Structure 1
Amino acid sequence: MTVTCGIDWASDHHDIALVDHEGVLAARARITDDATGLEQLLKLLAEHGDREDAPIPVAIETSRGLLVSCLRATGRPVYAINPMAAARYRERHAVTRKKSDHLDAMVLANILRTDRAAYRTLPHDSELAQAIAVLARAQQDAVWDRTQASNKLRSHLREYFPGFLTAFESAREGLCHPLARVLLAAAPTPDQAARLTRPQLRALLKRAGRKRAIEAEAERLREVFRRPQMRQPALVEQAMGQQATALLRQLDAACISADDLATAAVEAFDTHPDAAIITSFPGLGALTGARVLAEIGDDRARFADAKGLKAYAGAAPVTRASGKHLAVMARKVKNQRLAAAGYVWAFSALTASPGARAHYDRRRKAGDRHTAAQRNLYNRLLGCLHHCLTDRIHYTETAAFPPSPAEPQAAA
């Protein structure tokens, strides 16, 4: 490797810098963010020794976008450099802290020239795995949007219609429940809810999909809505009801998006060869499994060992040692999406796997708090997942959590 390429990405143009093995600028250019700009970039690389068997590596500060996708399609190594890391390198070249697009492109090229071994190329995931990643991440975003919209609506209802929150305080889905959304759309104010008759309530229950105990539920709702409660002035209450209707539309859109994307993500995940192995683990259903696969991909060379996967997921701790000081801390720099899926996975495994439950209980008895014990369990499960995916075998409870010698004696 004699030439490296750095690309400073922008929304409408990109600055290109090529440096040789001595750090001397070999070429520079500014290309547009379209097919013409990509053709200009490939031509520039070819002029400086780019070959099919020895492509020039490229460093860029993002892992997404059409430019990155097209560069990966050429088979060349593409390195996604963290912008914070690039900012530290920039200070080596400009002590005055000056900044320009061309300078940033040169910094990225020099990162590969000097410290290429410290970075990894973007994984070579299959097209199906990339599609699952798009759907699973979009569904996770929709769930977070749904939670945010629900919290906004809940906060607003507390200011003028607390009786509605009382009616659904025991519902598992809360305001996201179809019945709650149908009722609030029909009666967004306390006055309108109190005027609902039994036939109207029964019709709303059927519209929301209720099939059992309709009479009892209609009577319960009628009694809750007619209880005395503090009220806003009439005009203010009406205005707040209109605001609640607007917030409800946002919640409806988030709920529909989350459900549709969940269906699409599960359908795509079920066709992947790794799906059977991933879902063989306790606590990993199709949707959570799709989220896990979306973040780890199906490029088995991406993680050299299980330690790399655990660090990427944030399950492995960070050790800070300086002189006589030694501290073992939870990892904060991690893949947040994979960490969120891991919390759900570890929590579900507590009831699905006796070995996972015993492992969690041992960590709790050793002094770990709930979160730390769950993270330790997640760390253990990730190691098992890496082994199963590498060896193409399914999860086995006795292999993942072998019984200790004391357990048979206790049973006897």
Structure 2
Amino acid sequence: METAELPPPAFCGVDWAEDHHDVAIVDTGGKQLAKARISDDAAGFAQLITLLAEHGDLEDQRIPVAIETSRGLLIAELRATGRPVYAINPLAVARYRDRHSVARRKSDAVDAAALANILRVDRDVHRSLPADSELAQAIAVLARAQQDAVWDKGQAQNKLRSQLREFYPAILAAFAGHRFGLCAIEARTILAAAPTPTKAAQLTRRHLRSLLKRAGRVRGIEAEADRLYEIFHRDYMHHLPQVEAAFGRQTLALLRQLDIACTNADELEAACVEAFDAHPDAPIYTSFPGLGSLSGARILAEIGDDRTRFASAGSLKAYAGSAPVTRASGKSCVVLSRKVKNQRLAAVGYVWSFSSLTKSPGARAHYDRRRKAGDRHIAAQRNLFNRFMGMLYFCLQHHQLYDEAKAFPSPPPTALPAQAA
């Protein structure tokens, strides 16, 4: 016979700050048992643990803690103790605060007490931080850092491109059709050697071949050098010499930022993929069409490997933002896309669904059916992502690989009409 889980003896709220934290502990009736201000260091954490132990914190009956953030050393130490930790949205805390005071007074101690009372009253409607493995937490750090590096690289490329449009259209024309644009190593190598159109026009075919080899190109060097030579020697408009030279200096500064962003993205991608491939759930993720090691790592980073985190596939879909929101009142009923969601998970979801269109006949057929039904491109992609998230939830719960035949079963054949005798 299973024993019922004992209710916690008290509830703790921590109002987080940069150099200190306010702590409040309330009992099940709402009476404040203790309050304190702790420092943001090991001594402050030890003081918090001692305070919790004085009010009934036991190894088999931990006092839950509510706080307004899900990251930081304090959170890591609290999670390591095995206690449930709840990250409460600051907007929700503001609403709870208004329940106790209409004068709109606010202080760190009041917010700490409000956080503790949130757990006392509505603990069941909030989700505690997942009990992810150490490897999953490391993958989350790397995957989010790599995604940030990719966004930084795109921003640096856009800044450089905007700058080059002002005075250097030749380099833009030279790499307009390249897959990686200005992020290509050939483009960055040539731009570093010739940061102005005047210097680009002075490059000979021999110099261009040398630069292409330095960039790592091994095929089609002669043809590429001839193409670049022809582009750089076209007739273009120019700024005055000193103005063009100043633009060149600024271009080199922006180019250094782009080089660093590209290097960071590549190094973090390699580290992220290496960590993801070592995770036992990696084969399940990569068995799905359109999911590689990097995109699989980004999804694992956001949903974790705690199987009890989501009670159902619907909860996971809502967290990913793929499930729609229904607003019904009286005779009106409106179905809208979900705005409150995990933005990182939603971003990789659109990439996943788009990539699967060429990898899975079933996914392509599902997308086409949604388009014929009237969905726009984004809506059809979101619907396909929603279906994939349901499949992923099932595969993770049952430790099964993706099966195309089960995921998108073929429709039964239509019966032919009987022929007359």
Q: TM-score, normalised by structure 2?
A: 0.96
| Correspondent of 1:369 among 365, 373, 376 | 376
Whether 2:310 is the aligned partner of 1:309: answer no
Give the match for residue 20 of structure 1. 27
Structure 1 Cα separation of the partners of residues 183 and 104 of structure 2 = 50
- Unmatched 5+ stretches in structure 2: 1-7, 417-421
Partner Cα distance (1:24, 1:234) in 2: 76
Which of 202, 205, 208 is the aligned partner of 2:212?
Answer: 205
State how far apart, in whole Å, the 2-side matches of 1:408 and 1:160 are: 68
| Correspondence for 1:155 among 149, 156, 162 | 162
What SS does structure 2 have at the residue aligned with 1:75?
A: coil
Q: 2:238 aligns with which of 231, 234, 237?
A: 231
Partner residue in 2 for 1:93: 100
Aligned to 1:327: 334
Indicate the SS of the match to 2:117: helix
1:262 deviation in Å?
A: 0.5
Counterpart Cα distance in 2 of 1:317 and 1:89: 27
Rate the CA distance shift 1:46–1:408 in 2: closer, same or farther, 3 A.
farther
Native 8 Å contact 2:9 2:57 kept in 1 = no
Is residue 283 of structure 2 the alignment partner of residue 276 of structure 1? yes
Partner of 1:145: 152
Aligned-pair distance for 1:407? 7.4
Partner of 1:340: 347
Task: Say whether residues 1:253 and 2:239 are aligned partners.
Answer: no
Amino acid at match of 1:156: Q
Aligned to 1:292: 299
Counterpart in 2 of 1:63?
A: 70
After the TM superposition, which parts of structure 1 deviate over 3 Å for at least 4 consecutive aligned residues?
A: 406-409
Which consecutive residues of structure 1, in runs of 5 or more, have no partner in the other structure? none
Instruction: For 1:99-178, list aligned pairs within 5 A.
Output: 99-178=106-185
Aligned equivalents of 2:303, 2:76: Cα separation in 1: 18
CA distance in 2, matches of 1:258, 1:39: 38
Which residue of structure 2 aligns with residue 318 of structure 1?
325
Query: How many aligned residue pairs are there?
Result: 409
Q: Which residue of 2 aligns with 1:241?
A: 248
Letter in 1 for 2:389: L
1:328 shift after superposition: 0.3
Q: Which amino acid aligns with 1:333?
A: V
Matches of 1:196 and 1:278, distance apart in 2: 48
Which AA in structure 1 matches 2:19? Answer: D
Shift of 1:406: 4.4
Distance 2:342 2:144 in 1: 12
What is the Cα-based RMSD across aligned positions, in Å? Answer: 1.0
Structure 2 residue identity aligned to 1:342: G
**C-alpha distance in 1 between matches for 2:60 and 2:264:** 44
Counterpart Cα distance in 2 of 1:363 and 1:197: 54
User: Is 1:43–2:50 an aligned residue pair?
Assistant: yes
- With normalisation by structure 1, the TM-score equals 0.98
Distance 2:168 2:415 in 1: 58
Aligned-residue offset at 1:239: 0.6
In 1: Cα distance, 2:254 partner to 2:102 partner: 50
2:407 counterpart (400, 405, 408): 400
| Counterpart mapping for 1:190-201 below 5 A | 190-201=197-208
Distance 1:392 1:408 in 2: 37
Amino acid at match of 1:309: L
2:4 aligns to what?
none
Amino acid at match of 1:239: A
Task: Give SS of 2:358's match.
Answer: helix
Q: Check 1:217–1:37 CA distance in 2 against 1; reply closer, same or farther (3 A cut).
A: same
* Aligned-pair CA distance for 1:192: 0.6
Q: What's the CA shift for 1:171?
A: 0.4
Describe the superposition over 1:369-397 as per-residue Cα deviations: whole angstroms up to 9, x where unpaired. Answer: 00000000001111111111111111100
Shift of 1:94: 2.0
Q: Which amino acid aligns with 2:66?
A: A
- Given residue 86 of structure 1, which amino acid in structure 2 is its aligned partner? V
Q: Which residue of 2 aligns with 1:11?
A: 18
What is the correspondence of 1:177-188 to structure 2 with a 5 Å cutoff? 177-188=184-195
**Residues in 1 aligned to 2:21 and 2:233: alpha-carbon distance in whole angstroms:** 63
Aligned to 2:5: none
Counterpart-to-counterpart distance in 2, 1:184 and 1:104: 54
> Once the two structures are superposed, what CA deviation does each residue of 1:297-348 show, in whole Å capped at 9, x if it has no partner?
1001111111011000000000011112111000011111111111111001
Q: Which moved further from structure 2: 209-218 or 20-29? A: 20-29
Aligned mates of 1:41, 1:147 — CA distance in 2: 43
Partner secondary structure for residue 352 of structure 1: coil
